[in-house]
Amino acid sequence: MTEFAQNILALLGKSEAEIRPLLPEKHGGFSPRPASLHLLGRSAVLAGSEDGVPLLLVVADSRRRLPDGFEGEQTALADGGVLLRCGHSAANAAALRRHFPWCAPSAPPACALSAGVRLDGEAAERIGLFARNGVFPVLSGDGTAAVRAVFEIFSCDCRSGYAVDGGRAGTVSACEAALAGGATFITLSPSPAPAALSAAADYAGKHFITEDRQAFFFNSETAGACVARFGTLADFAAKVRALPFGKRGAFGLGIALDGGPEPTCPAEHLFVIRELRRRNLEISILFLRWPEEPEAFASAFRQHVSIARTFGGYRLAVPFSRELPANGSGRCEMLHLAPDGEPIEQIQAHFQAAGLKER
């Protein structure tokens, strides 16, 4: 490790683009990630792993040139240089966010194709693939996801933004905990609760027409079922939006309508979005339960896209494994690709089938 750091020290006069190709695939037990090498004045910050243990290295030409905030084991190098071996701690994640602001998460943007990424062994490969295709990653994992995500994003040199998924929450207190843990995206899980039955009167017996002239009819049974299942969801979302962890838009909201045994019907989608908009509430991603049979999926997909186009500003979560119907996908920024353990080859094939090209 000392010899490797000494080599980095000798290259500090060069640019990042010049240094990265010179890094070996492996040096002793250390495997660097070349894309992660970044310069801060007369110091370099680099991610990698030593015998499978992830590390962050900071190499500077003197102790006084070490960037502030990084914590780790110091080793003296020749010519007054110094090596700092840093673990993947919260303090070092904070230092990366401070020195490299693009390492800080944000809410999912209003209009961009997005995709979920589990922070597992294939995370780096998936993040890289998404970045090349202009896809906004939403990273998820265990309770340390917010810290782990910073190191993964830095290692991939992914500067186009990302969100940290705080998981699903059914209470305001659970949302508070997720935000306090560094999440910038939370999915609200509706739970049956007493709602004003009068709300059903706003829907029962009425047709709602989308911008492409599709009609959705609510009979009394459908209206009552929507109110019973989702009648308090918009009020729940309003309470979460009012949390003191940030101003409006500081974190993104998802809505989970995929909790039932049956596919989400278009009426449920329309009811929930309309109730949210009546309260001037925006969401980022809507999670639906889709039919398994391909023809039924294609029909449901076109109906849900029609509703989403009419209201705008959010994306529909669709599994990677589903084949989108021809001429029915809508704008690609209307989709959130939901992972389910597919290999990277299948995800690449998905992009090719959707007509997206790496850039």
Same domain for 112 and 237: yes
CA–CA dist 182, 172 (Å, integer) = 16
Burial 187-202 (b: 16+ CB within 10 A, else e): bbbbeeeebeeebbee
Which residue, 73, 99, 125, sits at the end of a domain?
A: 99
Is 306 inside a domain boundary?
Answer: yes
- Residues forming beta bridges with residue 47, ordered by sequence position: 56
Give me the phi and psi of 94, to 5 degrees please.
-65, -35
Is 223 inside a domain boundary?
Answer: yes
Count of domains forming the chain? 2
Same domain for 143 and 11: no
CA–CA dist 82, 98 (Å, integer) = 21
Same domain for 149 and 90: no
pLDDT of residue 351: 64
**Distance, C-alpha 25 to centroid of its chain:** 29
Task: Tell me the residue range of the domain where 304 lies.
Answer: 102-353
Is 359 inside a domain boundary?
Answer: no
For the whole model, what pTM was predicted?
A: 0.89
CA–CA dist 96, 151 (Å, integer) = 8
Same domain for 320 and 239: yes
pLDDT of residue 52: 86
Which residue, 64, 79, 99, sits at the end of a domain?
A: 99
Same domain for 119 and 88: no
pLDDT of residue 247: 47
Is 201 inside a domain boundary?
Answer: yes
Is 358 inside a domain boundary?
Answer: no
Contact of 196 with 231, CB cutoff 8 Å = yes
Same domain for 304 and 215: yes
Which residue, 99, 121, 149, sits at the end of a domain?
A: 99
Same domain for 127 and 67: no
Is 65 inside a domain boundary?
Answer: yes
Same domain for 250 and 180: yes
Same domain for 332 and 279: yes
Is 199 inside a domain boundary?
Answer: yes
**Beta-strand pair 252-257/185-188:** parallel
Same domain for 346 and 287: yes
Contact of 9 with 61, CB cutoff 8 Å = yes
Same domain for 182 and 64: no
Report the mean per-residue pLDDT for the chain.
Answer: 88
CA–CA dist 224, 240 (Å, integer) = 25
Q: With left for phi above 0 and alpha for psi between -120 and 50, is residue 77 left, alpha or beta?
A: beta
Instruction: Give the three-class secondary structure for 128.
Output: helix
Spell out, as residue ranges, where the chain has pLDDT lower than 70: 193-198, 245-249, 326-333, 340-359
pLDDT of residue 22: 93
The beta strand positions in 179-324, using DSSP E, are 185-188, 206-209, 215-218, 252-257, 285-288, 315-319
Same domain for 161 and 93: no
Is 142 inside a domain boundary?
Answer: yes
